[in-house]
Amino acid sequence: MFRNLVLVGFMGSGKSSVGRILSSLTGFALVDTDTLVAQEAGQSINAIFKQHGEEHFRALETKVLQSLVGRIGLIVATGGGVVTVANNRACLPQIGPVVWLDAGTDQLYQRVRHSKRPLLQTKDPRGTVEELYRAREPLYREVATVRIDSSALTHRQTAEAVLAELQQTQ
19 is a site residue for ligand S3P (CB under 6 A) = no
Minimum Å gap between C-beta 164 and ligand S3P is 24
* Range 99-128, binding ligand S3P (CB under 6 A): 117-119
Query: Among residues 14, 19, 79, 97, which is the contact residue for ligand S3P, using CB under 6 A?
Result: 79
Query: Among residues 5, 6, 7, 11, which is the contact residue for ligand S3P, using CB under 6 A?
Result: 11
Query: Among residues 14, 19, 80, 96, which is the contact residue for ligand S3P, using CB under 6 A?
Result: 80
153 is a site residue for ligand S3P (CB under 6 A) = no
- Under 8 Å CB-to-CB from 94, ≥6 apart: which residues? 69
Nearest to ligand S3P of 115, 168 (CB atom): 115
Residues forming contacts to ligand S3P in the complex (CB under 6 A) are 11, 15, 34, 45, 79-81, 117-119
